[in-house]
Chain A
């Protein structure tokens, strides 16, 4: 039940640097601009990819890899912006490079042509939910900003709430961009793999990437920053 091809792995240790928290939005601006440029290409790629998926029944492999990298990158940028993770992310969406990692299928899967044809309409309810979650995340980030600034730590509940919102949003993007045919799942039990599970009786659905696993093993929760 808790499986989804697009899974978020949370390996964050909840430590936050007060300095980078204080300037977090401004520090993210270069990423947001890069993200916009990348998004333009993703939009351009969407049409040929959609046509390919309609004709051969699955997306083209290069487009799949490109979109997967974009989704991984947006995950790291949103995680950084919304204080869900501490380190400054890279610009390439490379797998295994960030404590909040999106596991995305890089091999195109067979998809229903009818659902592909109507994808833009089918995704609409998910986009509405994602929009609502985004507003919740803004509010939570505002509260978390103060807490992290004062204590040097991110409250686990805030972190997990934000991570869940991002997970849902990324699943929505993945569905929109034909990376997967699976509809985003609103349940927080689906598509989340926590380094240290915070929700009882939930085990990671998909094996975490090796790099992220080792990060989690070596970096248990650090004490608050002095």
Chain B
């Protein structure tokens, strides 16, 4: 085969893969929220009060600054580590993969140290507003201990990447990416078993409501569980988790502490059921799979200049490329997540048929989390994995208008 034929074949394969990628992405992007839905502008000050709104805006603005530090600092630190991190190779007596693991762990350790002042300041801010309850020593020790789990994760990643790179050279990503998808699938499946979920007691009415809502949404009832987080935070939350037989709805005990009415809790449960109904956790894994292939490919390309992922020298650059590319796709990741959340809100409205409760819930969220319901445009792009509370209330009003409520 001549060089030009090979080039043409390569272009055709690339074109076919790109078309398949776009098709899969568009399928995942699609939701049941009407495409022509126009959200009305909501005056949040009349709903939550002017002083509450100012408090939330002030709180969120500073929190956003910490969020920005959380995005930029890792990039700066890991860029410097990519340049000089190889010096730590002398601290290893292990083989190439063991040395790669050490370099990766040290990169994360240095990042932890660099982030510590910002994390302490953020905790101070959250404690000031009564959102966090964790003490400073508890936070430092807790994140230090959590580093152990991160170290294990990064060692596994390095083992996979370097192991395949030593077998397949720069084509490691072809074998590595499916393994990462399989791990993502496994983690999603086992999450309910590792989250310390407790049985839901003394909420018989809510359990009955869940069964009713599940049948309305056309989904099998999912076990309702409780996550005890009240020792750490006052923020309310709930999450859908698990796949197939491991499916659960985890309600933080902070949402069950009496601040939310029974109809509001039903909206929460209907929302989480909707995630299961729409197979959002599967979609999340699918979305991850869509990006892990190109990211792994780009990392393989970038790290070639350091000899490829078969040698530990490339590991610091690997960390930087990985975090850099993950940051680059953050806006699209958040947009995808917001679409799934909006769809779950829409389905919950249809199932509960109680827009007043939904509205009251979202107003309560502003009051209990001090989250700005109308953040600046860049905030949702970088941090917003849910629609803003103003958008959620806007959707309730749009739903009411459509259903003649």
Contacts and interface: CB of A to CB of B under 8 A. Distances in A.
Contacts of B106: 19-20, 23, 27
Contacts of B109: 19, 22-23, 26-27
A153 to B, nearest CB: 15
A40 to B, nearest CB: 18
A191 interface: no
Interface string A74-91: 001000000000111111
A151 to B, nearest CB: 17
A30 to B, nearest CB: 4
B106 to A, nearest CB: 6
A94 to B, nearest CB: 8
Interface string A202-218: 00000000000000000
A89 B105 contact: no
A99 B152 CA distance: 25
Interface string A174-201: 0000000000000000000000000000
Contacts of A17: 88, 91
Contacts of B151: 26-27, 29-30
A17 B97 CA distance: 20
Contact of A98 (B88, B93, B105): B93
A88 B147 contact: no
B155 A30 contact: yes
A23 B147 CA distance: 10
Interface string B107-139: 001100000000000000000000000000000
Contacts of B170: none
A91 B155 CA distance: 12
Interface size class of A (residues with CB under 8 A): 20 to 34
Contact of B91 (A20, A26, A76, A99): A20
Contacts of B147: 23, 26
Contact of A90 (B88, B94, B144, B155): B94
Contacts of B95: 90-92
B93 A87 contact: yes
Nearest to B92: A88
Nearest to A99: B93
Contacts of B144: 26
Contacts of B70: none
B309 interface: no
B84 to A, nearest CB: 12
A27 B93 contact: no
Interface in A58-115: 76, 86-92, 97-99
Nearest to A19: B106
A89 B94 CA distance: 5
Interface size class of B (residues with CB under 8 A): 20 to 34
A29 B102 CA distance: 11
A26 B105 contact: yes
B284 interface: no
Contacts of A97: 93-94
Contacts of B196: none
Contact of B152 (A33, A90, A91): A33
A29 B106 CA distance: 13
A148 B201 CA distance: 51
A85 B101 CA distance: 18
A92 B98 CA distance: 10
Contacts of A91: 94-95, 97-98
B274 to A, nearest CB: 39
Contacts of A22: 109
Contacts of A90: 93-95, 98
B200 to A, nearest CB: 34
Query: Among A20, A22, A30, A33, which residue has the most Cβ atoms of chain B within 10 A?
Result: A30
B99 A88 contact: yes
Interface string A1-35: 00000000000000001011011001101100100
A94 B147 CA distance: 28
Contacts of B152: 29-30, 33
B122 to A, nearest CB: 22
A88 B155 CA distance: 13
B49 interface: no
Nearest to B150: A26
A139 to B, nearest CB: 21
Contacts of A86: 91
B178 interface: no
Contacts of A20: 88, 91, 102, 106
B223 interface: no
Contacts of A76: 93
Contacts of A87: 90-94
B115 to A, nearest CB: 14
B148 interface: yes
A99 B109 CA distance: 25
Interface in B230-264: none
A17 B152 CA distance: 21
Contacts of A27: 102, 105-106, 109, 151
Given A20-B102, A29-B152, 6 more contacts: A23-B147, A30-B152, A87-B91, A89-B94, A91-B95, A97-B94
